[in-house]
Structure 1
């Protein structure tokens, strides 16, 4: 009888383990890809001339959103993306610097659980490669916040080369599972990020568990540094100048459906000079910038192709959800077209280059939207959004979407069948404010149905989106502008004076949200020396 009972217990345990294994096999693998400082129109499926065949394939076989919102700048975007919280609630309301208040402590708090922490608790392997930027303290590093494997860098930017033909760049310091290492001469950071991601996938394949992989590319964030063979692809491509390139992108966006019929286009940026007014030498400088920028985006796409190849090799491509976004719009910050960056020790694109795209070309990257990174007009907070999931997402769909970073976490948890914990390491987690995108991704809805609004605040810049309406104000002014985004996503006509009741309603919503999330008047916490975008008067990274 004792032997029989033991046998029954062993069989029950085996059955339970086998059932759990089958359940895990049904759970989808999840890959989250994010690029840095890339504009709304910088990939082929959103109107670009830059070669992005792998992203275009994901778009053709998956779904695209016309409206997907980020938080306008690196660290607050990553805080929301990783936790499903608004950035202030997660502790990064300004940047990865401590301004002395919980909402502005500059690193993720314990109450805001990361995607890795939740998914790991629900049976997933958790992997990350790339840029972290959610806190410099080691307690905020990826391995300390739920990622079993991590390779990349902690702060907000990095060189792409260690040393090369022209000049010498400072050593590129990286972290692999809490141990420091350096980029070797001849290596390129975008490639190394994916080299490690692929290595993690090979190791993880032995576990029999589903995986969550977060690939956070540094590109095309400054400095403009690219592989020469990629730069060569774009030689002469931008000789026609930014005005003509922007017009070509607008035509493609209309053909693709990204720009809806009758939808407005942002007015031409008056600070951007006419291309025909530049001298020959000025044109050579500016077209070189965009050639390198395009090469950096191109190399990202090549590496996405490597990830897709690995999925197919591991026979996991049929059960993997991929989402691709950008952390903010392209970086403006006009500094004049005779600007000579003082740190350059080599040509644009080389290891000695510390140049960046700048406003003249960022104006093209954000087509057809207004403004740039760190601003709450559409060009600052809008990202391309592609989701791909064979047999679950219908190929080729293009929908309104109207989603935000806070919606990613509930989406992943629903697809994964993951339970969001009531307690985690003795801490009560913050509740999730977002809505799952599953109904939109699976064709049941055209856009997210939410009862309330979407909110933004960063360094005094503020915005609220509710239905078709959006109010926005730019620091130091505290005057609300109002736009009807259904007809005027280019934000060309401020109708605040015509609809004061709408302004009052959305303004009231903002201040209620601000109080709930610990947002304070920026003048009360403003750093003595705000961080600057290179060559810009805008306080930012």
Structure 2
């Protein structure tokens, strides 16, 4: 009798468990995919004016929403710090770069108080996946798996080769990490493809769970070195023989036609440092054409892999409940400076091969950033403007182009709103920094045309500074401390400095800046700058790269 009673209890418990499992409410919150590319200019995809073949991104744009104004932090590590945490980079600990300058705002890795989107979303029940470039802390305590990601494949530092051997030249091993284990890229593989392969592998594994997922897909293309697959390069053979002057005109015309550029808006004047294409010799033109062919091929390959990702989502029957966001970490890279052109670290093969360490350079970057002025690591529009595409048919109306005026700090609160994820006051023993941005959901769902944040957007990096407030923007470029002022409603090309006629506006925005700087931990750059500014390799760094013991292609 006693046995029957116990058996009955066990059977009843088992029945209740089975009933609970069958009647467990499914988690219908959306999956989220964030795609970031590296050093790609505002106009380098078809839906923003480019001739580069990007059908998959163009389809996302057609079925989703595009912003005319979306801002980053002008260079890799500070951009990623803001993106991943929803904080300004200094507040997150990466006010300069991923090196330690001895102050909390410049420690060179994410602090614990700045919660990553992986930490917050995992705490809310999401699977958290990442594949690609990290670049917000080299110490193993600051790697992705230690900051909230269930799975990670990619590299930790700022740059990588795309393959290690080819027909011409041999590069150092491509050092990678997969879930805290060091690995290298197998010979014959191309890194852009492998970043996607591992992301798809993670999605296959994740599909066995009942959880929604968050995937951060951080491509390093088209960041230098210019290395691409021959079949992709061949698609652009001869396309760039028209030169940068004609190509920029072509892109501007297309931007106006599709509505990305307002015909009433002033575009940036021609960069006087870029030589006229017609003044180049035949051999010079051949060299420059090849650079852009390879650059285009790298962007093209990213788009192909985005197509593979979308195919996988359809295969897993998860495409109809997935938000996809696409951005770039900064404008295209220039490279001219008071000391002259930036030199490639080393070359052991032609442009495009494993031995190539060439980069796009200013003349083509001038086209990539159309219709804006300046380049990566500068606070004018060409340095901080990115394409922004969001796709989520359930809630985002297709085909819209809006002003937007979003910033990286807005993405974390956007994801948390879509995911119904509470932002905790404390997590993992740390008191969380309040989020700095505003959710983009009202703009994405058609309730507003631009972010209603009620306060300015701020920038500082290596002494370069800017403030955006309404139509006004002040900007200064180190080592000058003079503010320029632009009316971006009329002059997003930043051609006409109107500071002299609007002293009161300059004073107001300047006061806003210094209040923000004090609150955020910004320090006068002259007091903290390292001997060699990070961002572009120095002769010493180039020499170190030639040393076999130091040949790791991982500087920014």
Instruction: Say whether residues 1:248 and 2:253 are aligned partners.
Output: no
Assess, with a 3 A threshold, how the Cα gap between structure 1 residues 338 and 96 changes in structure 2: closer, same or farther. closer
Deviations 1:136-182 (A, max 9, x none): 00011000000000000000000001111101110101000000111
> CA contact under 8 A between 1:80 and 1:90: conserved in structure 2?
yes
Label 1:2 to 1:464 Cα distance change in 2 as closer, same or farther (>3 A).
farther
Contact 2:335 / 2:342 at 8 angstroms: preserved in 1?
no
1:57-76 map, 5 Å: 57-76=59-78
Give the aligned partner of residue 533 of structure 1: 536
Of 333-342 and 176-185, the range deviating more from structure 2: 333-342
TM-score, length basis structure 2: 0.93
Cα offset, 1:341, TM superposition = 3.9
The residue that corresponds to 1:133 in the other structure is 135
Aligned to 2:435: 432
Counterpart-to-counterpart distance in 2, 1:233 and 1:340: 28
- Aligned residue for 1:151, secondary structure, equals strand
Change (3 A) 1:186 1:2: closer
Once the two structures are superposed, what CA deviation does each residue of 1:303-328 show, in whole Å capped at 9, x if it has no partner?
A: 00000000000010100000000000
Q: How big is the shift at 1:387? A: 0.1
Q: Distance in 2 between matches of 1:449 and 1:15?
A: 47
What SS does the aligned partner of 1:45 have? Answer: helix
Please tell me whether residue 52 in structure 1 is matched to residue 54 in structure 2: yes
Match for residue 163 of structure 2? Answer: 161
1:313 match:
315
| Equivalent-residue separation in structure 2 for 1:63 and 1:484 (angstroms) | 25
Distance 1:341-1:528 versus aligned 2 partners, 3 A rule: closer
Pair 1:86–1:4, CA change in 2 (3 A) = farther
**Equivalence for 1:106:** 108
Q: For residues 313 and 461 of structure 2, what CA distance do their matches in structure 1 show? A: 38
Could you tell me how far apart the structure 2 residues matched to 1:31 and 1:376 are?
A: 28
- Residue 406 of structure 1 is aligned with which of 397, 405, 409? 409
Residue in structure 2 matched with residue 42 of structure 1 by the alignment: 44
**CA positional deviation for 1:201:** 0.3
Q: Report SS of the residue matched to 1:387.
A: strand
Q: C-alpha displacement at 1:390, in angstroms?
A: 1.6
SS at match of 2:426: coil
Task: Give the CA deviation at 1:423.
Answer: 1.2
Pair 1:494–1:357, CA change in 2 (3 A): same
Where does the alignment leave 5 or more consecutive residues of structure 1 unmatched? none
Is the contact between residue 65 and residue 444 of structure 2 (CA under 8 Å) also seen in structure 1? Answer: yes
CA–CA distance in structure 1, aligned partners of residues 50 and 112 of structure 2:
40
- Contact 1:282 1:337 (C-alpha < 8 Å) held by counterparts: no
**Residue of structure 2 equivalent to 1:328:** 330
Q: Is the 8 A contact 2:74 2:384 kept in 1?
A: yes
Task: Name the TM-score, length of structure 1 as normaliser.
Answer: 0.96
Equivalent residue of 2:69, what SS?
strand
Contact 2:121 2:416 survives alignment (8 Å): yes
- Correspondence 1:28-427 to 2 at 5 A: 28-334=30-336, 341=344, 343-427=346-430
Q: Distance in 1 between matches of 2:356 and 2:298?
A: 13
Instruction: Give per-residue Cα distances to partners, 1:378-403, cap 9 Å, x unaligned.
Output: 00000000000022110000000000
Check the 8 A contact 2:344/2:359 in 1, yes or no.
no
Q: Is the 8 A contact 1:334 1:536 kept in 2?
A: no
How far the C-alpha of 1:2 sits from its partner, in A, is 10
Structure 2 vs 1, CA of residues 322 and 536 (structure 1 numbering), >3 Å: closer, same or farther?
Answer: farther
C-alpha separation in 1, matches of 2:265 and 2:328: 23
Q: Distance in 2 between matches of 1:65 and 1:123?
A: 30
CA distance in 2, matches of 1:459, 1:131: 22
Q: 1:366 to 1:170 in 2, by over 3 A?
A: same
> Is the Cα contact below 8 Å between 2:97 and 2:534 reproduced in 1?
no
- The CA distance in 1 between the partners of 2:277 and 2:287, in whole Å, is 12
Q: Which runs of 5 or more structure 2 residues have no equivalent in the other structure?
A: 541-554
**1-side partners of 2:128 and 2:14: how far apart?**
30
Superimposed CA distance per residue, residues 49-92 of structure 1 (whole angstroms, 9 cap, x where no aligned partner):
00000000000000000000000000000000000000000000
CA distance in 2 between partners of 1:284 and 1:339 (Å): 20
User: Could you say what secondary structure the match of 1:93 adopts?
Assistant: coil
Give CA deviations for 1:479-532 in whole Å, capped at 9, x if unaligned. 000011011100011111111111111111100000111001000000012225
Matching residue of 2:549: none
Report deviation, 1:339.
8.3
CA contact (8 A) 1:65 1:385 kept: yes
CA contact (8 A) 2:121 2:128 kept: yes
